[in-house]
Amino acid sequence: MRASPRFDGRVFRNTFPVSTGLKPGVERPTVRDFLCPDEARVPSGPLPLADPRDLWRKAPPSGLRVTWLGHSTLLIEIDGVRILTDPVWSERASPLPFAGPKRFHAPPAALAALPPLDAVIVSHDHYDHLDRATILTLARTRRTTPIITSLGVGARFERWGIPSKRVTELDWWETTDVKGVTVTAAPSQHFSGRGIRDRNTTLWSSYHLRGPNHSFFFGADTGLTAEYSDITRRLGPFDMVALEIGAYHPSWGDIHMGPVNALKAYELLQSGAFLPIHWGTFNLALHPWSEPADTVYRRGTTAGVPLIMPRLGAPTEPSHANGVDPWWRAVSSAAPDPIPESEAPETLEAIERMAD
């Protein structure tokens, strides 16, 4: 940590001096907004889930297959290697089992139903990405599966009883090998912390997977940053990219993208099918639950972006994708308000803001 260019001796910092607080001159959400949510912020009925287990029993014909299991949880099958990202199976993304954002849907598959894993990636330590109960279950039931994470996060795993030899911590641009697939930690513009005293004491990262035949980029949590050009130059081209689109508000700083900035980030990445993530599982902001999906679908389709937006639990191969079925529209009747072209929305999850 001391050797990292991002560490100032006390905390980690983003490359650019962006705000992680409330922006001046912008209408701010109130505690009442969070405690008395609008009905449109949750689905009006059950979300359609696909059962991925039969397909998981067979290798992907193309060599690259991704299953979106909710929020930022992905099972990535790339050139014979299986890697799980930011696994969250708990009912709530919260430090409290009885309060905090609750899931819209059950996980499409039980933890025990997952196929053999070659690694687990945890991008950073926020509750909607690092779920203690899920990690401890995986550590107990998948005793040889390594965990790859950002600098400092491994100390949490050690305190939870996970041996340090199972954990690999990476700084940005550092790599590790998983059975022939190179995993690289890359920049993101975000923050970290699980309480009121540990803000930014651990690092946050995006991740790139490079196999013998395929390339996949997992954006994790980030705001729109010029560092995406560096990521493209150093790690591209990509066969598929997963970028966050959900939970945003103009007053919440520069550490989330929202659908408009996610499309701008995709322009910087320049290649690959675009899988939107970080939406459709938890109520973490003030907008209608399906608005990020509708916005990215509407604008991305107009711009010719190769979108992949499968139902939760549906394994998807980018080389076999056949367009987008906007399945979420059958669940929610709330029509989201269009986002003005001039807006550049960024976000901050409610639970993280309230915890601070």
| 349, pLDDT greater than 80 | no
Domain boundaries, the chain: 52-332+346-355
Least confident of 272-286, 304-318, 330-344: 330-344
On the question of pLDDT at 283 being above 60, the answer is: yes
For residues 199-214, average pLDDT = 98
Instruction: List the CATH code of the domain at 52-332+346-355.
Output: 3.60.15.10
Residue entry with tokens 């803000």? 199
pLDDT tens, 215-252? 999 999 999 999 999 999 999 999 999 999 998 877 66
348 confidence band (pLDDT: 50, 70, 90): very low
pLDDT for the residue numbered 97: 83
Under the banding of pLDDT at 50, 70 and 90, the label for residue 98 is confident
Compute the average pLDDT of residues 332-349.
39
Residues 169-189 have a mean pLDDT of 98
User: Is residue 344 scored above 50 in pLDDT?
Assistant: no
Looking up tokens 């995406």, which residue turns up? Answer: 228
- 100-119 pLDDT tens trace: 899 999 999 999 999 999 99
Q: Give the pLDDT band of residue 321 (cuts 50, 70, 90).
A: confident
3-state per-residue secondary structure call for the chain: CCCCCCECCCCECCCCCCCCCCCCCCCCCCHHHHHCCCHHHCCCCCCCECCCHHHHCCCCCCCEEEEEEECCEEEEEECCEEEEECCCCCCECCCCCCCCCECCCCCCCCHHHCCCCCEEEECCCCCCCCCHHHHHHHHHHCCCCCEEEECCCHHHHHHCCCCHHHEEEECCCCEEEECCEEEEEECCCCCCCCCCCCCCCCCCCEEEEECCCCEEEECCCCCCCCHHHHHHHHHCCCCEEEEECCCCCCCCCCCCCHHHHHHHHHHHHCCCEEEEECCCCCCCCCCCCCHHHHHHHHHHHHHCCCECCCCECCCECHHHCCCCCCHHHHCCCCCCCCCCCCCCCCCCCHHHHHHC
What's the confidence (pLDDT) of residue 41?
87
Residue with the bigger pLDDT between 13 and 23: it is 13
Residue 260: which pLDDT band, with cuts at 50, 70 and 90?
A: very high
